[in-house]
């Protein structure tokens, strides 16, 4: 064990996840590559944790942050006017597509979702909330409550009354045998049933990720979110789209994960990529919802000037370079290269949307999800100079989400390394 790892284990919580048998200490980054303390370089195809959506040491972001630092105004809280905050809010309100939208900035995705839940429950005067099975929305009291993934649950009492809907992970044999249309009908029937039998018909909102991130990049069949939204509208239930992983063009099918579903949420939550590594999150919501809170509000660090400088520069870069189009163009290059892996006995499925890809690792004998094989592939990709993620409800999903700035040569290199690593692990267990 390295000296730093021993010190980490001594003073940091045992439940903080660390990748790899010998965790990596990253010391620098440039473009889509990182360097560790031993001088090894890696292609980072997890973009930090979908945080560095432009990659590392991007001049436009670095210079914007340096300019802000040079003013000496590092923190003023929300008690004073901040130009960068207003400018960023204007951009996000416009991009949200929500009429009369207003924005509140936070420091993380967890806080963003907590705020959205507060807006919705206060607006409806109800603690009843719908969430999806296999979801992840954060690690606070309210957001753990709406997280439908046992790996991230704690058994504390929840401040919310949560009912879980079927969603992107077709848990259950009967669901897997259905066509998309049959599955959507079954999900909608279940939603109506939940509303009629398990609630007092005063549900505040549904919170959902258009592609479930921590859940293993699972995707709903086209039409599911629109079908849910129709029922929600009938009942006056608000829809919160958690875009912490799917925002800013990552899915390639629109600026937000929900875009391709032809729906407009009442609130959108965001974080991760916006500050290109700096802590920025927030909620953009209908103005009446945002202004509906009657209590005073302040955020000490949310919307701080340094984070705003990074976020404005990052968002401008995304738009100026049309990175959504890059995600749409390069997604198929990766996916077409990964699809042949489905003939490996240790691979259950391969899927992708834009620059989000997943490979499910399974036991070749039983077909059961195999977190061990996923971990083995991660060690192999690392050995070959590629960083990717893992996750999923059962811990067996390889997750790939590079910076949106990747070039075709990076994608081909990563795709070949990943395919080689999967084949190597597959051959070991045949
Ligand atoms: N929502 C989603 C979809 C996420 O993936 C995450 C983090 O992974 C969160 C919320 C929580 O964000 P944070 O870790 O910034 O609190």
pLDDT tens for residues 117-138? 999 999 999 999 999 999 999 9
Question: In this structure, are residues 241 and 120 in contact, taking their beta carbons and an 8 Å threshold?
Answer: no
Radius of gyration of the chain (CA): 21
Distance 266 CA to ligand 1 centre (A): 19
CA 140, 146, 147, 153 torsion-angle sign: positive
In the chain, domain spans: 62-321, 322-351+376-392+409-422+424-428
The tokens for 225 are 């979110």
Whether the predicted interface score ipTM is above 0.90: yes
105: left (phi over 0), alpha (psi -120 to 50) or beta: beta
17 C-alpha to ligand 1 centroid (Å):
14
- Give residue for tokens 């390639």: 252
Residue among 116, 138, 397 whose CB has most ligand 1 atoms within 8 A, to mutate: 138
Nearest Cα neighbor of 399 from 270, 217, 194 is: 217
What's the pLDDT tens digit per position in 317-354? 999 999 999 999 999 999 999 999 999 999 999 999 99
Atom of ligand 1 nearest to the CA of 212: 3
Q: How far is the CA of 407 from the centre of ligand 1 (A)?
A: 26
Q: Looking at the predicted structure, is the pLDDT value of residue 156 above 80?
A: no
Is the confidence at residue 233, as pLDDT, over 70?
Answer: yes
Instruction: Count Cβ atoms below 10 Å from residue 407 Cβ, excluding itself.
Output: 12
Within 6 A (CB) of ligand 1 lie 108-110, 113, 136-138, 209, 213-214, 242, 244-245, 271, 281
The sign of the CA dihedral 133, 135, 137, 140 is positive
Residue from 240, 245, 275, 301 whose mutation best tests the ligand 1 pocket (most atoms within 8 A of CB): 245
- 213 CA: nearest ligand 1 atom: 5
Looking from the CA of residue 138, the nearest atom of ligand 1 is 11
Which atom of ligand 1 lies closest to the CA of 209? 3
At 419 the three-state DSSP class reads helix
Topology adopted by domain 62-321: 3.40.640
Average pLDDT of the chain is: 95
Atom of ligand 1 nearest to the CA of 143: 10
Which of these, 136, 134, 129, lies nearest to 167 by C-alpha position? Answer: 134
């Amino acid at each position: 064990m390295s000296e730093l790892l021993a010190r980490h284990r001594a003073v940091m919580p045992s439940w903080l996840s660390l990748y790899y048998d010998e965790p990596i200490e990253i010391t620098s980054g440039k473009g889509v590559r990182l360097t560790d303390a031993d001088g090894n370089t890696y292609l980072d195809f997890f973009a930090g944790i979908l945080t560095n959506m432009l990659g590392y040491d991007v001049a436009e972001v670095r210079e914007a942050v340096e300019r802000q630092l040079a003013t000496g105004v590092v923190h003023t809280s929300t008690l004073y006017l901040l130009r960068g905050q207003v400018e960023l809010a204007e951009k996000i309100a416009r991009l949200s597509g929500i009429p009369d939208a207003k924005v509140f900035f936070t420091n993380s995705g967890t806080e963003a979702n907590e705020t959205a839940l507060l807006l919705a429950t206060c607006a409806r005067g109800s603690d009843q909330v719908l969430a999806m099975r296999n979801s992840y929305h954060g690690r606070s009291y309210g957001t753990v409550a709406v997280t439908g993934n046992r790996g991230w649950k704690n058994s504390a009492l929840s401040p919310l009354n949560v009912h879980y809907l079927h969603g992107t992970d077709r848990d259950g044999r009967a669901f897997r045998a259905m066509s998309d249309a049959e599955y959507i009908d079954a999900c909608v029937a279940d939603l109506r049933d939940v509303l009629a039998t398990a609630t007092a018909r005063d549900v505040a909102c549904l919170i959902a990720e258009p592609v479930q991130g921590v859940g293993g990049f699972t995707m709903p069949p086209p039409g599911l979110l629109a079908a849910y939204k129709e029922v929600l509208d009938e009942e006056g239930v608000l829809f919160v789209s958690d875009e912490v992983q799917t925002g800013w063009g990552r899915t390639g099918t629109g600026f937000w994960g929900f875009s391709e579903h032809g729906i407009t949420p009442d609130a959108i939550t965001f974080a991760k990529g916006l500050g290109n590594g700096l802590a920025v999150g927030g909620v953009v919501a209908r103005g009446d919802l945002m202004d509906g809170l009657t209590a005073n509000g302040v955020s000490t660090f949310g919307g701080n000037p340094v984070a705003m400088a990074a976020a404005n520069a990052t968002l401008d870069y995304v738009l100026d370079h049309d990175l959504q189009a890059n995600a749409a163009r390069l997604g198929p290059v990766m996916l077409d290269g990964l699809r042949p892996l489905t003939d490996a006995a240790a691979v259950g499925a391969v899927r992708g949307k834009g620059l989000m890809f997943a490979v499910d690792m399974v036991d070749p004998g039983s077909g059961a999800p195999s977190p061990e094989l996923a971990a083995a592939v991660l060690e192999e990709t690392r050995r070959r100079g590629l960083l990717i993620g893992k996750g999923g409800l059962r811990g067996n999903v390889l997750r790939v989400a590079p910076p949106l700035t990747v070039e075709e040569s990076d994608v081909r290199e990563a795709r070949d390394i990943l395919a080689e690593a999967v084949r190597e692990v597959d051959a070991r267990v045949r």
